[in-house]
Amino acid sequence: MPSTPYLISVLAIVFTITFALRAVPFAVLGRLRGSAVVRRLAVWMPVGILAVLAVTALHGTMTKDPHGTWYALLAVAVTVAVHLAFGRRTILSVGAGTAVYVVLLNACA
């Protein structure tokens, strides 16, 4: 087992690197705030991230269980409908879609 000073130094290095990697984007963003590229990224990046997450999650569901495909597609439809109907509240729409999926998966299985 490594010594205590060794473990403390490793943790300090890990903390420093993690903190720096998380702080640098905010330091640079202050200078780029007026940039057209940053404004476009602010609009499209959240959509892109959610699209990648949705495709990844749905692909895993659809390839493993044929009934899960319909449950997932219904949950996506509910998510979109709630998102558009209730003023684009992401937490509400994702929560409703997730609840529908979990209920369908557990009640109909």
Backbone angles phi, psi at 108, to 5 degrees: -100, 0
pLDDT of residue 64: 82
pLDDT of residue 59: 85
Q: How confident is the model at residue 109 (pLDDT cuts 50, 70, 90)?
A: low
Q: What is the pLDDT of residues 28-70, one digit of tens each?
A: 877 888 888 888 888 888 888 888 988 888 887 778 877 788 8
pLDDT of residue 28: 85
Q: What is the pLDDT of residues 8-34, one digit of tens each?
A: 999 999 999 999 999 998 888 778 888
Mean pLDDT of 82-89: 91
Q: How confident is the model at residue 77 (pLDDT cuts 50, 70, 90)?
A: very high
pTM, two decimals, is 0.57
